Structure 1
């Protein structure tokens, strides 16, 4: 009887209707496979980011020109701790919609001209809370120091442009080219400096906006999502199997009877 039942299932499977369902199940499995790898790749990207942080974040600073050049920034050099001496020549420009410890605010950009010459560099000097008077009113921030200053910070790649027109003195994202244009720079390095600290020639530290928090090191749920997608690959085939099984039982309930429902002891007592 088992062989006969299995044969009926296989014959039913090769009908146009169920072949179509099987094809959809296969396509669903392929999609789940690739979605699983997509999530796994995102997980690996965050693992690599954390490895860069472990290598660079607390390391001894190196000269800015050693890492960030007009030709570009090597992805492996992101978060390298650097130092540079120069003068702030323009600013501030505000990056909107930035949060710090759950509070909405703005990041404050200034333009630093290195003492050794070369293109200017955009410096993110920190964070300030939004004005209580509305989005178009910019908050007051400590000015950048005049004269020579030695800065220490981390080299970062710029963000993608959001393609939005912003009021004067504001940018929608930390896109280096847009920030440089808003600061009036003729040319800027293709990366920016996230400020850690500043030292004046007399050894004092000037006032500055609130420093940003330490970088996010969480790996997120991407690895779990990847495993979930891979485990879901078989769902379509299981549904096809149960669909054929149910169809055969509905056509011949006497030959393929349902398993009788067990009667609970207390149901017998209540009867």
Structure 2
């Protein structure tokens, strides 16, 4: 069997089997990496999502948010909404697409925090018409929410008052004002009189599902020897058929066919 293996035809098959095994190992490793990433994400959520809030300036600075340490950190901020609200297009919320609503919160030190106040559904009059959005409250407000890292820019031309993503360049260009890196997903806000202003719909809680990545990883790894197994079966069958004195299967003989008439 080994001598037969080292023939050009079977060496080519062996090379393909080895390439498949290497590819399956790499794909399994990638899928397991995705599984571990989601485990780490859930551990971060467990530590931060329902924790006591910390002052926003302890987390948000001019530097990018540290995803491994500060993502979903619960923060509190006191300030005043100063400036128009922005709509972020094509944002899903509980399976429905609409807009997320951004507002600039000016802190006592003069810095500005991007606050994602929630979500509104697309207008019934079509995508070209902006939906009705609850206005940001006037005066001082106390805000509680979760820190998220800023997104990458999509560099799209949109109507005034809209952006394609929560990216610093797009937001700063729309507001004409520098903002702190990252943004805050609103949990609650209270006016100075203790009332809760009307706000857009809350965003859905973060996804905690692990997905099928672990199962896919094991499937790829278990399939690694399939090519080698097929080669072994093929060699075994080929050698068996060449054995002298081996009984041959009787050939099928056509007795009749419709074309004979």
Do these two structures clear the TM 0.5 threshold for a shared fold by scoring above it?
yes
- Aligned-pair distance for 1:236? 1.3
Question: Mean alpha-carbon deviation: is it higher for 236-245 or for 149-158?
Answer: 236-245
Equivalent runs, 1:78-93 vs 2, <5 Å: 78-93=71-86
Task: Name the residue aligned to 1:180.
Answer: 172
Question: Mean alpha-carbon deviation: is it higher for 122-131 or for 85-94?
Answer: 85-94
Aligned pair partner of 1:242 in 233, 243, 252: 233
Measure, in 2, the Cα distance between the counterparts of 1:183 and 1:237: 62
Alignment root-mean-square deviation, CA: 1.8
Residue 99 (1) aligns with residue 92 (2): yes
In structure 2, runs of 5+ residues without a counterpart are 250-261
Secondary structure of 1:91's counterpart equals coil
The alignment's TM-score, normalised by the length of structure 2, stands at 0.89
Write out per-residue CA displacement over residues 45-90 of structure 1, whole angstroms, 9 at most, x where no aligned residue. Answer: 1111111111111111100011111123222111010011111122
Measure, in 2, the Cα distance between the counterparts of 1:101 and 1:206: 23
CA contact 2:64–2:150 (8 Å) conserved in 1: no
Task: Name the residue aligned to 2:255.
Answer: none
Aligned pair partner of 1:189 in 167, 180, 184: 180
Task: Name the residue aligned to 2:6.
Answer: 14
Task: Name the residue aligned to 2:220.
Answer: 229
Secondary structure of 2:239's counterpart equals helix
Secondary structure of 2:80's counterpart equals strand
Measure, in 1, the Cα distance between the counterparts of 2:235 and 2:55: 69
The alignment's TM-score, normalised by the length of structure 1, stands at 0.86
Task: Name the residue aligned to 1:40.
Answer: 32
Task: Name the residue aligned to 1:71.
Answer: 63
CA contact 1:122–1:176 (8 Å) conserved in 2: no
Secondary structure of 1:90's counterpart equals coil
CA contact 1:95–1:171 (8 Å) conserved in 2: yes
Measure, in 2, the Cα distance between the counterparts of 1:253 and 1:175: 75
Task: Name the residue aligned to 1:144.
Answer: 136
Write out per-residue CA displacement over residues 121-172 of structure 1, whole angstroms, 9 at most, x where no aligned residue. Answer: 2111001010011111110111001221111100001223333332222222
- Aligned-pair distance for 1:244? 2.3
Question: Mean alpha-carbon deviation: is it higher for 238-247 or for 40-49?
Answer: 238-247
Equivalent runs, 1:207-218 vs 2, <5 Å: 207-218=198-209
Secondary structure of 2:224's counterpart equals helix
Aligned pair partner of 1:199 in 185, 190, 194: 190
Secondary structure of 1:233's counterpart equals coil
